[in-house]
Amino acid sequence: MPFKVAVLPGDGIGPEVTDEAVKVLKATGLDIEFESAPFGGAGYDDCGEPLPAATLALCQASDAVLLGAVGGPKWDSLQPLTKRPEIGGLLAIRSELNLYANLRPAKTLTPLIHASPLKEGRSMMDLMVVRELTGGIYFGEPRGRRDDGNTAFDTCLYTRVEIERITHRAYEIAMQRRKNLIAVDKSNVLETSRLWREIVTEISTQYPQVSTSFMLVDNCAMQLIRDPGQFDVILTENMFGDILSDEASMITGSLGLLPSASVSDPKGDIVFGLYEPVHGSAPDIAGQGKANPIAAILSASMLVRYSFKDDATADRIDNAVEKALANGTRTSDVFENGCQIVNTSEMGDAIVREL
Ligand code: NAD
């Protein structure tokens, strides 16, 4: 049976970079059936909804979803807000598909070490932030204002079930990596963090091969800059993960390099997930062949690794990206002297050649 991948190219540079990711997946020789559907601004233009019912149904019937990016000035003033690609599209698909675990790897690519703000002498970085995506202070009730609007409050709330399921996903990922998990919290202050620590401690006994430790979030923010090489898997709640994953990802250098995954519960051998670059639709460079497709291609590699559990093929894709860069093939965002500037599709071709 072929794997089934739903492809949602989206808007702006989304279709350009997604084409390259699909090209690379086809070149791996894996048996994958692709089906595309409109999403985001393209969904709105097509049938008046950023997440058309048929697109959602296609995703639900697939093993994984490959997404480009959505949004752009054309749809920025749509009313009501649920017609906008980011709200009615992205946020809606994450909650409809129950994508509670957000995986954000951040890795120094050796040929691009010059692009990192942390120059020579610092450790190489290869870490994964596993962020809880559908709970915590971003979703807790009650929230609101009182005293004529002069006092505001949010609620940070976590249930055992929410913490347990993401903790298992994080340990499974640690088992596929260097088997080192650091759970990041603020347990010296927050009750929710103390519950996280209790549950992570309990679950850690089921993964004795993984070394588990705890770190306070303020220290983690500092340690990421001081010595990013010390981290393998960082497991954390929604808001801390939001901030730490952005901090870690920028240590690599360019937005055009950063993949991400949002995964849900395993269905048998397959872990259902949605894979997308961290960047947006970049309307300023859309249609010009300038977009770097590497974030989309590395998202496709994550799809193979986490949904299909095929580490060997994912490693081949990751190595092909590094080799193409090492050969001096560069899109303009990561250009340096002595390299050859190529367009989006030529970058994809160079990576396919290295496969
Ligand atoms: P953006 O990520 O689209 O672009 C920021 C800057 O990075 C731009 O200068 C752009 O040219 C550059 N850039 C981004 N991706 C690149 C790539 N692959 N190669 C080379 N350069 C790249 O962020 P923005 O400009 O703030 O937002 C543009 C639109 O994208 C907005 O409508 C926003 O809402 C949307 N957006 C969507 C997502 C998503 O779909 N997940 C994420 C962020 C923003």
Residues whose CB is less than 8 angstroms from the CB of residue 156 and which lie 6 or more positions away in sequence, other chains included? 136, 137, 140, 190, 192, 239
pTM: 0.91
Q: How far apart are CA 223 and CA 217, in angstroms?
A: 10
The DSSP 8-state label assigned to residue 123 in this structure reads P
Nearest residue to 65 via CA among 334, 296, 253: 296
Position 253 scores a pLDDT of 72
Position 141 scores a pLDDT of 92
In testing the pocket of ligand 1, which one of 102, 262, 281, 290 has its CB within 8 Å of the most ligand atoms? Answer: 281
Which phi and psi angles does 185 have, rounded to 5°?
-155, -170
pLDDT tens, position by position, 192-248: 999 999 999 999 999 999 999 999 999 999 999 989 999 999 999 999 998 998 888
Q: How far apart are CA 298 and CA 77, in angstroms?
A: 32
Position 232 scores a pLDDT of 98
Judge whether 186 counts as a catalytic residue: yes
Position 139 scores a pLDDT of 85
Cα torsion for 80, 86, 88, 89, to the nearest 10°? 150
- Residue appearing with tokens 């193979």: 304
Position 18 scores a pLDDT of 98
Judge whether 218 counts as a catalytic residue: yes
| Pocket (CB within 6 angstroms of ligand 1) | 13, 17, 69-72, 86, 90, 255-256, 276, 279-285, 291-292, 295, 333
Position 266 scores a pLDDT of 77
Going by alpha carbons, the residue nearest to atom 38 of ligand 1 is 280
Task: Check 46, 126, 154, 246 and give the catalytic one.
Answer: 246
Q: How far apart are CA 69 and CA 214, in angstroms?
A: 34
Position 335 scores a pLDDT of 87
Indicate the pairing of strand 151-153 with strand 211-216: unpaired
Q: How far apart are CA 108 and CA 229, in angstroms?
A: 10
Q: How far apart are CA 302 and CA 104, in angstroms?
A: 10
Position 122 scores a pLDDT of 60
Residues of the chain with pLDDT under 70: 117, 119-123
For residue 22, the CA-to-ligand 1 centroid distance in Å is 20
Domains and their CATH numbers in the chain = 1-101+257-355 (3.40.718.10), 117-251 (3.40.718.10)
Atom number in ligand 1 closest to CA 75:
32
In testing the pocket of ligand 1, which one of 255, 278, 298 has its CB within 8 Å of the most ligand atoms? Answer: 255
Position 1 scores a pLDDT of 87
For residue 70, the CA-to-ligand 1 centroid distance in Å is 9
Judge whether 242 counts as a catalytic residue: yes
Q: How far apart are CA 242 and CA 236, in angstroms?
A: 9
Position 123 scores a pLDDT of 65
